[in-house]
Amino acid sequence: MITMKKLLLIFILSLIISATKAREKPSVFSNMTLNGYLKYMNTTMFNDLDSVWLVDNLVHNRLNYRWYINDKFTLAIEMRNRFIYGDLVKFIDGYAKSIEEDNGYFNFLTNNITDGSSYVLNTAFDRAYLEFNSDNWVVTLGRQRINWGQAFAWNPNDIFNSYSFFDFDYEERPGSDAVRIQYYPNFTSVAEAAIKIDKDNNITAAGLYRFNKWSYDIQALGGIIDTSDYVVGAGWSGSIWDLGFNGEFSYFHPQKNFSDSSGVVILSAGLSYMFNNSLNVSIEGNYNDYFDKLNITSFNDFYFMPLSVKTTSYSKFSWFGQITYPIHPLLNGTIALMYFPSLGNGYFLMPSLSYSVSNNFECALYGQIFEGKFGGQYDKITMLFLRFRYSF
């Protein structure tokens, strides 16, 4: 812990030095960049307006640091620092501990600096990698984001780190502790192989080839996921007339008792269109064979489901629609709706408004309403988020 704190201090000091020196004459620091954001978010959660309101606060800082060592080597370190205080910390058992959870092999990179009954201060390095670029090759070593998704709401091809649509406040996603080799045979194709190891020493190892043909980006992938399953999949991005058309599917088959067991298919496909007035409409459908094995018994199971590519959707079929419209050039409005027939015709509704206050300052209001049958019991949860973001 002490070494961790020292490491943190050294890192932050070097960041400050690099930020101040960057503007001066060329030196080692002129090859470094630092950017990020500072956010404050207020979360309010209740079942009904008349029920108890739980209010939580989050001060969230992100630092993205790059050192362009030379033409071939780049070092990237990115960290998020969060100070969370309020009712959720107070009332949810083991909340601080769950914040400190890190599923990566290098799980010492996430730490609670201090915590009490109503607060927790957490720091996490979610990127820490060295990238080597030479000719058509790129080798990336360390904690990194490997994003293989092509669809919008659900990404069965995103086998290294899956995405939960609900957690809109963390679009960067956690990194994977991995080695990744990419080879670019031409300007719009890539062949890559990656191997990731998690905190339980489970291994995900897979290869992907993506190429551009018939005005489509097409990808195929195959490998082993979490040591337990074989996975094969494919994805595409293209258009039908002027409609954007993308999707992806993956087939998972347990390695154990290969011939006796059956596999599962997860498939997502969607269409999108932007009208002349910048109104953007997207729809997507998802099929998940795995849903009946999820064993959702409560809303918490559903919302805090450990993220695996198999658990990114919760219903045999799921439907998604989203409308985005710039009500004013500075004010963007979005309404997203998900429909889960297998959760007692449950739904998830997420309206949001974001307002650009100045070049680097934004304020936004999000709502999330969930209603559905979780483990035989109807539940309804409403959440409101008010967020201020300053980017630098």
Partner 1 sequence: MKKNVLLLGLILSFVFANAQNATEIIKKADDKWNGEKSSQGIMTMTIVRPTWERTIQFKIWSLEDDYSMTLITAPAKEKGQAFLKRGTEMWNWVPSISRMIKLPPSMMADGWMGSDYTNDDILKESSMVVDFTHEIIGNETIDGWDCWKIEMLPKEESAVVWGKIIRWVSKDEYLMMKSEYYDEDEFLVKTELGTKIKTMDGRKIPSRIEIVPADKENQKTIVEINEIKFNINIQNSFFSQQNMKRLR
The CB-of-333 to partner 1 minimum distance in angstroms stands at 14
Per-residue binder mask for partner 1 (CB under 8 A), 280-309, x = binder: ------------------------------
Q: Provide CB contacts within 8 A for 288, sequence distance 6+.
A: 264, 266, 310, 313, 314, 315, 316, 317, 318
Distance CA 20, CA 41 (A): 29
Question: Does the protein bind partner 1 through residue 214 (CB under 8 A)?
Answer: no
Q: Nearest-CA neighbor of 170 among 82, 262, 277, 71?
A: 82
Question: Does the protein bind partner 1 through residue 362 (CB under 8 A)?
Answer: yes
Per-residue binder mask for partner 1 (CB under 8 A), 55-84, x = binder: -------------x----------------
Question: Does the protein bind partner 1 through residue 363 (CB under 8 A)?
Answer: no
Question: Does the protein bind partner 1 through residue 27 (CB under 8 A)?
Answer: no
The CB-of-204 to partner 1 minimum distance in angstroms stands at 16
| Out of 360, 375, 378, 386, the residue judged to bind partner 1 by CB under 8 A | 360
CA-only gyration radius of the chain, Å: 22
Strand-pair category, 317-328 with 280-288: antiparallel
Which CB, 163 or 252, lies closer to partner 1? 163
Distance CA 37, CA 59 (A): 11
| Out of 171, 256, 259, 295, the residue judged to bind partner 1 by CB under 8 A | 171
Asked if residues 143 and 109 have their Cβ atoms less than 8 Å apart, the reply is yes
| Out of 207, 222, 244, 341, the residue judged to bind partner 1 by CB under 8 A | 244
Which CB, 49 or 275, lies closer to partner 1? 275
Pull the structure tokens for residue 276: 């002349």
Q: Provide CB contacts within 8 A for 75, sequence distance 6+.
A: 66, 67, 69, 129, 130, 131
What backbone phi and psi angles, to 5 degrees, belong to 172?
-70, -30
Element (H, E) at 244: strand 243-254
By CB under 8 A, name the binding residues for partner 1.
Answer: 33, 35, 37, 68, 133, 136, 138, 144-147, 149, 171-173, 182, 184, 186-188, 190, 212, 215, 217, 237-239, 242-246, 272-276, 278, 326, 329-330, 356, 359-360, 362, 389, 391-392
